[in-house]
Structure 1
Amino acid sequence: MSDIAGWIAPVATMIAAMMTAANLGARVTGWGFVVFTLGSVCWSIVGLSTGQTNLVATNIFLTLVNFVGIWRWLGRQRAYEDGGQSAKSKSRRAAVPSLFTATGIAGMTARDVQGDDVGKAVEALIECETGVVSYVVVATGGLGGIAEELRSVPRDQITFGCDQLDLGLSRRAFDALPPLPAGDWPANVSDQRPQGKSAENIRVAST
């Protein structure tokens, strides 16, 4: 029994770590905590069979933490996602404006005026007083977030679709927007206009 647990424990822990780190939604993250629980139980068995009291105590605590993660992601957060998805689906079939969740903006594909993918939205900045989107930050390049570049696209250059963002910019005009410094985004998108170019010049470049 302990030999089998000794093999399952590290494999389950590694798989669970990848599932939770990938951030692929509430269900995947929640099941990642289920796999984490399997791993912590197996580590506890290994600890009991080898007399490692510290290993047992640590993994009993981690098992409790994993139960919290299961409740958080497979319970509450999954219900939030399902509720948002339900409203989104119903709005497409009803005689009302189509809806999408604000959290759904992150991860949306951004496309240029030719319909080609230029990157993915990572965040939308919203004005407190009006609730209007000021600009959207779009990530391009990199692998798994490594060496990617972030650019801010003003609201007047974005058409929100239910599944993607259509930019009123050509790829060349988008690339002309200066990359955002890491951890230092502008208060106003006009701060990030290319030097020597006005908003009107960007519009011309996009056509």
Structure 2
Amino acid sequence: MQAADIAGWVAPAATMIAAMMTAANLGTRVTGFGFVVFTIGSVAWSLVGLTSDQTNLVVTNSFLTLVNAVGIWRWLGRQARYEKGGEQAAQTSAHRAVQSLFPAGMIAGASVTDADGKTLGTIVDAMLRCEDNAIEYLVLSTGGVGGVGETLHAVSPARLTFAADAIRFDGSPDDARALPCIETDCWPERLRD
């Protein structure tokens, strides 16, 4: 088998795998390595273009290789360092005579557990009040798979305990399901009791 034949198989496989990795939004490292796999795919597509005299394929994938390099730098370089800094501050604060910290960048996508450690759902976002810079409510996604069939709930930050390693809901799974439901595309201006 020739290099062009191998590249002809590697290119689409790498592109499909990388697309799934980045679309899944499973965190900084998975997204970053998705761009690494995208780079393998774009280099393979360039080789396919070179061996088949398709200049448009070579030019397009040469540009995509540069874009993928930026993605690698952003997700495995810059963003990974930011997350590491936030995690380090949270861990250090948990063992010092200061208030414990939780990185705000880690709120979206964080799992919420009950008192027994059972996962109730995932935080989608947090809404802040402009007047006093406090969290008005957090949006908790429960049920469903990959956002399909999920239910969104507005939860008061007073019902949550932020620890360096987790977010815990102060209540039972039934209490979590009883939280106010909100529409996917129409969130309230304030938390309703």
- TM-score with structure 2 setting the length: 0.89
Question: What code does the residue aligned with 2:104 have?
Answer: A
Q: CA deviation at 1:129?
A: 2.2
Note the C-alpha offset of 1:61: 1.2
Say what the alpha-carbon RMSD is for the aligned residues: 1.8
Amino acid of the residue matched to residue 60 of structure 1? Answer: S
Contact 1:114–1:170 (CA under 8 A) maintained in structure 2 = no
1:114 Cα deviation after fit: 6.4
Quick one: structure 1 residues 27 and 116, their matched pair in 2 at CA, closer, same or farther if it must change by over 3 Å? closer
The code of the aligned residue for 1:21 comes to A
Distance in 2, Cα, partners of 1:138 & 1:108 = 10
Look up the SS of the partner of 2:125 in the other structure: strand
Residue 46 of structure 1 deviates from its aligned partner by 0.5
> Is 1:180 matched with 2:185?
no
Aligned-residue offset at 1:113: 5.9
Provide closer, same or farther for how the CA distance between residues 165 and 26 of structure 1 changes in structure 2, counting only shifts above 3 A. closer
Q: Is structure 2 residue 44 aligned with structure 1 residue 42?
A: yes
Matched, 1:143 2:145: yes
1:127 to 107, 126, 129: 129
Partner of 1:86: 88
Q: Which has the larger Rg?
A: 1
Alpha-carbon spacing, 1:113–1:33, altered in 2? closer, same or farther (3 Å): closer
Identify which range, 132-141 or 150-159, moves more after superposition.
Answer: 150-159
Deviation for aligned residue 1:137: 0.8
Deviating more after overlay: 168-177 vs 49-58 = 168-177
How far has the Cα of 1:124 moved from its partner?
Answer: 1.4
Q: Which amino acid aligns with 2:158?
A: D
Alpha carbons of structure 1 residues 111 and 86: separation in structure 2 relative to 1, 3 Å? closer
Give the Cα separation in 1 of the matches to 2:14 and 2:103.
Answer: 33
> Aligned letter for 1:75?
G
| Counterparts in 2 of 1:116 and 1:60: CA distance versus 1, 3 Å | closer
Gaps of 5+ in 1: 194-207
Aligned position for 2:76:
74
Q: Does the C-alpha gap of structure 1 residues 126 and 28 become closer, same or farther in structure 2, counting only changes over 3 Å?
A: same
